[in-house]
Chains A and B, each alone.
Chain A
Amino acid sequence: MIIAEQKPFERIVEMTAKARNILVAGCGTCVTVCLAGGAKEVAVVASKLRLAAQNAGRKITVTEATIERQCENEFVEKLAPALKGVDTVVSLACGIGVQFLAEAFQNLPILPGVNTRFLGAPSKQGTWQEKCMACGDCRLDKTAGVCPMARCSKNLLNGPCGGSANGKCEVNPQKIECAWQLIIDRMEKLGRLDELEAITPPNDWSTAHDGGVRETASEQAVPAKTEAMKSV
Chain B
Amino acid sequence: MTIESNLERVLQAGKFAVTGELGPPRGADVEVIKKKAQLLKGHVDAVNVTDNQTAIVRMSSVAACALLSQLGLDPVLQMVCRDRNRIALQSDLFGAYALGIRNVLCLTGDHQKFGDHPTAKNVFDLDSIQLIQTVKRLRDEKKMLGGSDVQGEFKMLIGAAENPFGDPFKFRVTRLAKKVAAGVQFLQTQCIFNLPKFKEWMKMVCDRGLHEKVAIFGGVTPIKSAGMAKYMKNSVAGMDVPDEIIKRVAGVPKGKASEEGVKIAVETIQQLKETPGVRGIHMMAIEWEEMVPKILQQAGLSPRP
Contacts and interface: CB of A to CB of B under 8 A. Distances in A.
B175 A163 contact: no
B35 interface: no
Report the 7 A-B pairs with minimum CB-CB distance, sorted nearest first: A162-B163, A163-B237, A170-B237, A158-B129, A162-B238, A162-B166, A154-B124
B206 interface: no
B225 interface: no
B111 A165 contact: no
B171 A184 contact: yes
A156 B167 contact: no
B259 interface: no
B124 A160 contact: no
A14 B68 CA distance: 54
A160 B111 CA distance: 13
B10 interface: no
Interface stretch (A92-100, A193-201, A215-223): A193-201
22 contacts: A154-B82, A156-B124, A158-B127, A158-B129, A159-B171, A160-B175, A161-B166, A162-B162, A162-B163, A162-B237, A163-B111, A163-B166, A163-B238, A165-B166, A184-B171, A196-B174, A197-B174, A197-B177, A199-B133, A199-B182, A201-B130, A202-B145
A161 B181 CA distance: 17
A207 to B, nearest CB: 14
Contact of A160 (B110, B168, B190): B168
B167 A164 contact: yes
Interface size class of B (residues with CB under 8 A): 35 or more
A184 B174 CA distance: 11
Interface string A158-194: 1111111111001100000010110011000000000
A174 to B, nearest CB: 13
Interface size class of A (residues with CB under 8 A): 20 to 34
A201 B124 CA distance: 13
Interface in B104-153: 108-111, 113, 122, 124-130, 133-134, 145
B109 to A, nearest CB: 8
A157 B127 contact: yes
Nearest to A154: B124
A155 B122 CA distance: 10
Nearest to A185: B168
B111 A153 contact: yes
Interface string B189-216: 0100000000000000000000000000
Nearest to B113: A171
A201 B113 CA distance: 26
B275 to A, nearest CB: 20
Contact of B167 (A165, A171, A197, A203): A165
B167 A199 contact: no
A201 B134 CA distance: 10
B178 A159 contact: yes
A205 interface: yes
B178 A165 contact: no
A154 B127 contact: yes
